[in-house]
Structure 1
Amino acid sequence: MLRSLFLFLSKNRTLTKLAKTYGIRLGAGRFVAGDTIASAVKTVKRLNRAGLSATIDYLGEYARTEQEAKKTAAQCKQVIGAIAEHQLDSELSLKLTSIGLDISEELAVSHLKAILKEAKHHEVAVTIDMEDYSRYERTLRIYKRLKPEFEKLGTVIQAYLYRAAEDIRNLHPLKPNLRLVKGAYKESAAVAFPDKKGTDLHLQNLIKLQLLSGNYTAVATHDDAIIAFTRKLVSKHRIPNSQFEFQMLYGIRPERQKELAKEGYRMRVYVPYGTDWYSYFMRRIAERPANAAFVLKGIIKK
C-alpha cells in the first residue's frame, strides 16, 4: 500500500511544483547531487576518486511544451561537455519524455540525435532510461532506430515485465548495451510480475541471457542475492569483468559500492541532479518506504 501511495504521489503536479520551490531541503539531498551541473561534477569527481564510475542524469520528466523539451536537451549537451572538460569517468542518462516524447516521437528523436552527435564527438556513452509501460514500445523503437548509428547508445530492460526476455532476444542483432533493472513503476499484473519473487527470478534469467550473448551488461541492483548470482555466473562461464558492471543509485548503499569496486568490479553510480527531483525521489521512497524518514528530517531542519 505504501509503495502504491508514493508512486501515486510521484505524479502529482501540485506537489512537484511545491518541491521545486523548496529545493532539495526536504530530504532529497540524500539521493540528488544538488541543483546544478557544477554540483553533479563535484559529486562525480568524488566518486571517481573512490574508484567508482558514474552516470549523470539531469532530472526532469514529461515535458509539456517544446520549450521545456528544448531546455532539457540543451542541458544534456552541457552535461556531455562537462564530462569531457573535466575528464570524468561518467556517462549520460536521459528520459525520452524529458525531451518531448509525449509531445511527439519525432521531436524526441530530433533532440536525441543532437545529443548523441555531441556525445559521439566527445566519446561519451548515453543510456536511454526506461519509463512506464505506456512509453515502453516507443522507447524500444527509438533505440532500435538510432543504435546502428550511435555505437555507445544503451537502454534499459525492466525485469518485472513478462516480455523482457523476448525483447532482449530481439535486440541481440544490434549488440545492445543494456542496463537490467527490476523496475520502479506501478504496472498492471497483465504486463508485469505482481510479486518480488517472480521479478527476482526473471531478472536472474535476463542477466544470464544478456551476459551469455556476449553483449555488455549493466546489472543495476542493490540486492545482494542478485549480486551474488551475477558473480557466480561470470565466474562459472569465465566472463571477463570488461563485459559487465554493477550499478547502484547515488545515496543508497555507498559502502557496498566501494566494496565492489575494491574487489575489481566496475561499479557505476547513478547521479541525478536538478530542481525537478520530486518524481525521482518519490519513486526511491516507493522502493523502500523507510526512506521517508529522510523527508521528515529535512522538514524538521527546514
Structure 2
Amino acid sequence: MDLGTKLFRSVLLTMAGNRAVAAVAQRYGLKLGARRFVAGETLEEVMMEVAKLNRKGISATIDHLGEGIRSMTEAEAFKQEYLKLLDCIQEHKVEAGISLKPTQMGLSLDPDAGFTHIRDIVQRARKHQVFVCIDMENSPYTDSTIGIVQKLHKEGLRNVGTVIQAYLHRSLDDVNQLTNKAVVLRLVKGAYKEPNNIAFRLKRDVDENLKQLIAARLDSGVYTAIASHDAAIIDWTCTYASERRISRQAFEFQMLYGVASPLQERLAKQGYKVRCYVPYGRKWYPYFVRRLAERPANVMFILKNWRVRKKS
C-alpha cells in the first residue's frame, strides 16, 4: 500500500468517528450512493433485498448496524431490534441468519447483562431455526467472544458460532479448540489494527495462515464459512475441496452486500453455497465509510452519483 493510499484511508477512517459529518451523511448518504453497500434503514427494506438475493440462490446474514454504544439502554434497544428482525425473518420466510457484535449488546459496559442480551437473541433464533454469528471485534474481545459461544453451546444453544481472524498468531489454536467442540466458524483475514507481537504484518503471511485455517476446517468436516472477496483464496479453496472430494455442502463462501456481486452469482450457479452479509439500520455511516476506505474507486462511485443528482 503506497503512502497516498494510506493517507486516503486514514482520513476516511477518521471521518467515520466524526458525529457532525455523520449527521450530514445520514441525511443524504443513502440517496447519493451508500445504498450500494447498505440495504436500507428499515426491516422492510432489508427483507426486500434479502428476498432478491434468495431468488438468485444466495442466502444472507443480516446485521443491524450500530457500534460504539454508551449505555445499556442502547444495548437493550439493539437487542429488541434483533428480536424483531428474527420474527421478520420467520414471517417473510427468507433464507437468512443474523450477525451481531458483542459490544453492541453491552459486553464492554456490563459483561453479564451483555451475555444475557446475546442469549435472549440466540434463544429466539433457535425457536425460528435461525443461525447466529457472533462477530469478532478487535483483540481485547477475542477471549470473551469465544467464551460466550462456548458457554452458549454448553447450555444447549448450538445455533451459534463465531469468527476467526487469520491475521492473529493465535488463530490456528482457536480453530482447533473450537473445531473439537463442533462450533461453526466464519474465517476472515481480519481488518483491525493490532500490535505486531500478536498479528501478522504481511499480506502473504495472512493469506498463508488463512489457507491453513481453511484446510484444517475442511478436513475436519465441521461446517465452515470462508469470508473473502480474494479470487486467489476462493480458487484455492475450490481446488482444495475438489482434490479431497469435500462436498460443496460442507462449506460456504461469504461476501459483502454490494461487493463482487457477479462473483457471488457465478459461484451460486456453479453449485457452491454463497451467503451475502447484508447490513441495514439508521447507524450505517461508520460501516459505509469503512467500505469507502477499502478502495478509492468506491469514492469515485459516490462522487459520480452526487454529480448526477445535482444536475437532475
Mean CA deviation greater in 112-121 or 132-141: 132-141
Residues 1:248 and 2:255 aligned together: yes
Tell me the CA shift for residue 170 of structure 1.
1.6
Instruction: Output the TM-score relative to the length of structure 1.
Output: 0.95
Mean CA deviation greater in 244-253 or 1-10: 1-10
1:225 to 224, 232, 236: 232
CA gap of 1:26–1:191, structure 2 versus 1, over 3 A, is: farther
Residues 1:197 and 2:219 aligned together: no
Number of residues of Structure 1 aligned to a counterpart in Structure 2: 302
2:40 to 30, 34, 44: 34
- Whichever residue aligns with residue 295 of structure 2, its letter is R
- Whichever residue aligns with residue 144 of structure 1, its letter is Q
Distance of 1:14 and 1:131 partners within structure 2: 25
Correspondence for 1:208: 215
CA gap of 1:222–1:26, structure 2 versus 1, over 3 A, is: same
Q: Among the aligned pairs, what percent are the same residue?
A: 45
Correspondence for 1:110: 116
- Whichever residue aligns with residue 16 of structure 2, its letter is S
Matches within 5 A, 1:68-107: 68-107=74-113
- Whichever residue aligns with residue 112 of structure 1, its letter is I
Distance of 1:280 and 1:252 partners within structure 2: 14
Correspondence for 1:127: 133
CA contact (8 A) 1:158 1:182 kept: yes
Tell me the CA shift for residue 79 of structure 1.
1.0
- Whichever residue aligns with residue 218 of structure 1, its letter is A
Distance of 1:4 and 1:176 partners within structure 2: 36
Greater relative contact order (Cα < 8 A, sep 6+): 1
- Whichever residue aligns with residue 268 of structure 2, its letter is A
Larger Rg: 2
Q: Any idea what SS the aligned residue of 2:157 has?
A: coil
Correspondence for 2:164: 157
Tell me the CA shift for residue 27 of structure 1.
2.5
- Whichever residue aligns with residue 259 of structure 2, its letter is I
Residues 1:288 and 2:276 aligned together: no
CA deviations over 1:116-139 (Å, ceiling 9, x no partner): 111011111110111122222221
CA gap of 1:160–1:10, structure 2 versus 1, over 3 A, is: farther
Tell me the CA shift for residue 298 of structure 1.
4.6
Distance of 2:293 and 2:190 partners within structure 1: 11
Correspondence for 1:142: 148
Q: Any idea what SS the aligned residue of 2:49 has?
A: helix
CA deviations over 1:160-219 (Å, ceiling 9, x no partner): 111111111121232011111111222222222222111111111110111112211101
Tell me the CA shift for residue 74 of structure 1.
0.6
Distance of 2:19 and 2:175 partners within structure 1: 34
Q: Any idea what SS the aligned residue of 1:270 has?
A: strand
Distance of 1:298 and 1:190 partners within structure 2: 43
Tell me the CA shift for residue 73 of structure 1.
0.5
Mean CA deviation greater in 285-294 or 79-88: 285-294
CA gap of 1:86–1:188, structure 2 versus 1, over 3 A, is: same
Tell me the CA shift for residue 15 of structure 1.
3.4
CA gap of 1:118–1:60, structure 2 versus 1, over 3 A, is: same
Correspondence for 2:54: 48
Distance of 2:207 and 2:167 partners within structure 1: 8
Correspondence for 2:195: 188
CA contact (8 A) 1:101 1:108 kept: yes
User: RMSD of aligned C-alpha atoms?
Assistant: 1.6
CA gap of 1:5–1:260, structure 2 versus 1, over 3 A, is: same
CA contact (8 A) 1:179 1:219 kept: yes
Distance of 1:181 and 1:297 partners within structure 2: 31
Distance of 1:263 and 1:151 partners within structure 2: 30
CA gap of 1:8–1:251, structure 2 versus 1, over 3 A, is: same
Q: Any idea what SS the aligned residue of 1:286 has?
A: helix
